[in-house]
């Protein structure tokens, strides 16, 4: 079936082995249905865990609660207080479940109400941008290779503003952000910004 990934099997001296699709390490001796090793699976999660400390550093919780639920006064104060009381627990839960958006974390933990609306599906960086943060400061890109094209031992998550100009151009030229108009536009805007300074 087109687009389906199958395990990579090698003879391995007659014992058989299953290899990781990304790094080619032996996942296990013998044959299995696994596609990636544990290390590569953790790297390839939908949302990088490294974005969480960036979000926590940049967010103003009172402003966020007011923005999402259009709360003010006592109601906003009450939910902010609830968040402060459960903050450490919330961070621990989020770090263990990094694919969740912050809104999902807050609802799952009972810190905020689950009201109807599109806010539940907003990505963390979208919320920060709505709060006035610059996308180039908070949006991360996963760097997997050195400039000399040597594979890094693990993905290095880097803010757009800290990527080298030739790296950004290579991402665009190589189609590595293909299908993601948000990143394509962000990279183009970053290049224009650098040209003008």
Residue 53 has pLDDT above 90, yes or no: yes
What whole-number distance in Å separates Cα of residue 106 and Cα of residue 58? Answer: 17
Q: Across residues 163-189, what is the average pLDDT?
A: 92
The residue that leads in pLDDT, 37 or 126, is 126
**How much is the pLDDT for 1?**
33
Q: What is the number of other CB atoms lying within 10 angstroms of the CB of residue 169?
A: 13
* pLDDT band of 54, cuts 50, 70, 90: very high
Residue 70 has pLDDT above 50, yes or no: yes
**How much is the pLDDT for 31?**
80
Buried/exposed 1-29: b ≥16 CB within 10 Å, e otherwise: eeeeeeeeeeeeeeeebbbbbbeeeebee
**How much is the pLDDT for 159?**
96
CB 54 within 8 A of CB 162: no
The residue that leads in pLDDT, 1 or 111, is 111
Least confident span in 5-19, 94-108, 134-148: 5-19
What whole-number distance in Å separates Cα of residue 163 and Cα of residue 160? Answer: 5
- Lookup result for tokens 């044959």: 31
Query: Per-domain residue ranges for the chain?
Result: 8-43, 51-133, 138-196
């Amino acid at each position: 079936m087109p687009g389906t990934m199958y395990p990579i099997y090698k003879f391995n001296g007659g014992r058989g082995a299953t290899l990781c699709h990304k790094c080619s390490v032996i996942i296990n001796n013998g044959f299995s249905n696994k596609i990636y090793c544990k290390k590569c699976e953790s790297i390839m999660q939908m949302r990088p865990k490294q974005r969480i400390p960036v979000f926590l550093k940049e967010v103003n919780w009172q402003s966020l609660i007011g923005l999402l639920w259009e709360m003010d006064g006592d109601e906003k104060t009450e939910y902010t207080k609830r968040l402060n009381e459960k903050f450490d627990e919330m961070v621990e839960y989020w770090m263990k479940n990094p694919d969740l958006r912050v809104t999902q974390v807050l609802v799952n933990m009972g810190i905020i109400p689950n009201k109807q609306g599109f806010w539940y599906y907003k990505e963390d960086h979208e919320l920060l941008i709505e709060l006035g943060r610059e996308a180039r400061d908070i949006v991360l890109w996963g760097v997997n290779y050195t400039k000399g094209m040597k594979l890094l031992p693990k993905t290095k998550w880097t803010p757009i503003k800290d990527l080298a100009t030739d790296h950004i151009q290579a991402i665009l030229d190589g189609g590595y952000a293909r299908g993601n108009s948000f990143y394509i536009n962000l990279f183009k805007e970053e290049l224009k910004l650098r040209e003008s300074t």
